[in-house]
Structures are given as C-alpha cells and as structure tokens.
Amino acid sequence: MVPNSILKEFNQRFDGSPTHYIRSPGRINLIGEHIDYCGGLVMPMAINQSIHGWYRFNQSSQINVYSEQFGQQVAINPLDVAQKPCGQWRDYPQGILRLGVHRQLAKGFDLYIRSDIDAGGLSSSASLLAMMSLINHQALTGEVLALGARGERLSLALLCQQAENQFVGVPSGIMDPVSVLIGGAIVLACQTLKFEQLKALPPDYCFVVMDTRVPRTLASSGYAQRVDEIQQIKSILGEKIPAGGLALCPEAEMVNCLDKLTDPSLNRRARHIFSEQRRVKQAADAINADDLEQFGQLMQDSHRSLQRDYEVSCPELDLICSLSKSSGLSLGARMTGAGFGGCAISLIRTRDARSHASLVKNRYMAETGLEPRLITCEPATGTQIIEL
C-alpha cells in the first residue's frame, strides 16, 4: 500500500522503510469567515485534498522531515531551544516540537511528506501542524490517537494554534486545527469548542473548490491587521462586549455598539462580525431543513459582506464567485479562508459539475488570463495514522 516511489525515496534518505502512514486533510469553510477569533460560530469541512506522510521512529533524538513539495529536508532537534523561526515551512514542524513538550530523549522520527493541497486558502498549514502534533503525541505516549478521541484532539488543536501564534508568528484562530483534527463538516462554537457534525448534503449536491490561482501575498499582513482592528473595537466598546468575543454580542446590543464605532472602517468590520454570526445560525437551520436555496443565498450574502465590510476579498475572488452564480448552475458562491487571493467555493448539483467548471473556466480565463482549477470535494475524516 506504500507507493513504490515513496519506498524507494524513503530508503535512500533514511536507510530503512516507513512503519506508519499518516493522512491529514485540508479544509474549506462553508460559512462563518473571520469570526473564529471573535468567539463566533463557524462551519468548516475537512476535505479529501490532504498532506500524506510516511514515517518511522529512529531511536535518536532527532526529527528528520523531508517535504517533496519544497524539495527540502530539515533536521530538527527539539532539545535545542536556541532554534528560531526562519519564515519557512520548517517553522511549522519546529513550532509543534518546541511547544509539544518534546523533551524526551530518543523519541525522534524520520518523516517523508507529500501534499496534494496545492491551492492557497485550504489550510495546508493547519494540516501540517496537525500531522506533526499527532506523530509527536505517538512518540511521547506510544498511543495512536483514535478518531473518536475528541477531548485529546481538541487539546492538540489548541497546541497547533499556540504553535502558529507563538512560534510561527501568525495570529490565526482555532477553526483550522479543530477542523483538520476532528474531520467531517462541523458547526463549531469557537469560544467553547463545542461542535456538532453537520447534516450531510442531499446526495445530488456538492461543494466545488474554485482556485483563482492568485497567490495570497497580502494574506498574512492583511490577516494580522484585521485581528488588530478587532482588538481596537474591543477596547472602544469595553464592557459592552461579552468576554467570549465580539461575535457573541446579543442582538439587542448590536445597534448600540455600531453607533459607538464612529470610525467608518471599524464600524464596517463589526457589522461583518455581527451579520456573519447571524448567517451561520441561519445556514445551520437551512441545512437541517434541506433548504439549499436558502443556504446558497447565505453564501452569497457572506461573500458580499467579506468584500464590502470586512474587505478581505480581491477582484479575482469576486469575479469567480460572480461567474459561478451567473452560470445558472450554482446555488451560491463565496470566498473561503482568510481571503486576499486563494480559493472560493460554490454549491452546485453534482451532475452539473462539468458544465459549471467549463463555463466558469472559460470566462474567468478570458477576463484574467489565469487558468483556474475547479475541484469537487468530499468531506474527509480527521488526521489519522495507519500502521503499515
């Protein structure tokens, strides 16, 4: 079951064979964007585009990680506290190993990574962090964490977020690591980390990822700026905001809060947080009632709010969503993830996947000169280890 090419490469690099396989999914977010760091409700779905890893424990204290995508091998010594982040992919494994209390001797491993998450905005970073956290957990406890071990998986998700915030230096929320470690499509309350599995779509409908091919160059600075704006809003509104976060502001208080925010852009940011939280609740009701028309409409409204109020979209994301909707084959489309480039998603009938893809592709290419990629995605299980 291990591809021959991997066996060969693994052997050449690490002089031996892998003993375990690990798959860690990417994710899309169906609705509830930029509100995880405001304590809000989100609806992420782990998808079949994944990072794959093959590994074995090596009886040393060193961790060797080879990434096919970057053509690079790094050696990490978790006992070396002097190693600093360097702004590259190795910061992610290193961050986990530094924070994951990996201080025991002879718990090292050799890991070969192949990724098929090749579009921006599908959370390859959380996928890699989750992979490292699960292998690290196994190294330290000897336990292969089951998919149903929800409490432990949520603790690992918090560790992943901490690694990204404190070591890598990105102030990301909790949505992505929870989605990747828990799997499936869930409705997640980011303040309490309570979640429920979302009812499956009727069998003839699916979500399509639409990759604009626009690199997310402003994503990290723009993202940090939004997180900072939310801090500013919190300090202006003070006690009017529940301790759990801006998204938990009661409906009756919202108008009051908006009145107090006289700075027009802070006012728009808060308006997005309030309206998006409301939309997630309505979207969960719509899915439960099999009302996909309503769900699609909420996706449209969410995109508009991200474009105009939160200002995290870009012309290509706006274009691809509008082409998808105007094809007549989509119930709704919106950007997914942090924005500033990357991917959008669209809800369509499965049987329309081909016609939808060709209509969107042709028009998008004609207008931008970029060749978009459209991929139908299925819900996938959370990060999982398989003994070989």
Binding site residues, ligand GLA, CB under 6 A: 29, 33-34, 36-37, 123, 172-173, 175-176, 337-338
* Residue whose CB is less far from ligand GLA, 34 or 90: 34
Count other C-beta atoms under 10 Å from residue 148's C-beta.
8
* Residue whose CB is less far from ligand GLA, 176 or 352: 176
- Nearest CA among 204, 206, 173 for reference residue 190: 173
Radius of gyration for the alpha carbons in the chain, expressed in angstroms and rounded: 21
Q: Is 67 helix (H, G, I), strand (E, B) or coil?
A: strand
- In angstroms, what is the minimal distance from the CB of 190 to ligand GLA? 9
176 is catalytic: yes
* Helix 175-182 with 150-162: angle, nearest 10 deg: 140
Measured CA to CA, the distance from residue 385 to residue 388 in angstroms comes to: 9
Residue nearest to ligand GLA (CB): 173
Kindly state the helix (H) or strand (E) to which residue 355 belongs, with its residue range: helix 353-368
Phi and psi torsions of 50, nearest 5°: -140, 170
* Residue whose CB is less far from ligand GLA, 66 or 92: 92
- In angstroms, what is the minimal distance from the CB of 112 to ligand GLA? 26
Map tokens 């964007």 to a residue: 33
Measured CA to CA, the distance from residue 317 to residue 333 in angstroms comes to: 10
* Residue whose CB is less far from ligand GLA, 33 or 110: 33
Measured CA to CA, the distance from residue 240 to residue 363 in angstroms comes to: 47
- In angstroms, what is the minimal distance from the CB of 141 to ligand GLA? 27
- In angstroms, what is the minimal distance from the CB of 121 to ligand GLA? 7
Map tokens 């999914």 to a residue: 25
* Residue whose CB is less far from ligand GLA, 18 or 245: 245
Q: Are 335 and 306 in contact (CB under 8 A)?
A: yes
Of residues 36, 91, 110, 176, which has the active-site annotation? Answer: 176
Q: Kindly give, in sequence order, each residue whose CB lies less than 8 Å from that of residue 273, ignoring residues fewer than 6 positions away.
A: 34, 35, 38, 40, 230, 246, 247
- In angstroms, what is the minimal distance from the CB of 169 to ligand GLA? 13
- In angstroms, what is the minimal distance from the CB of 36 to ligand GLA? 5
* Residue whose CB is less far from ligand GLA, 36 or 352: 36
Q: Are 385 and 156 in contact (CB under 8 A)?
A: no
The residues carrying an active-site annotation are 176
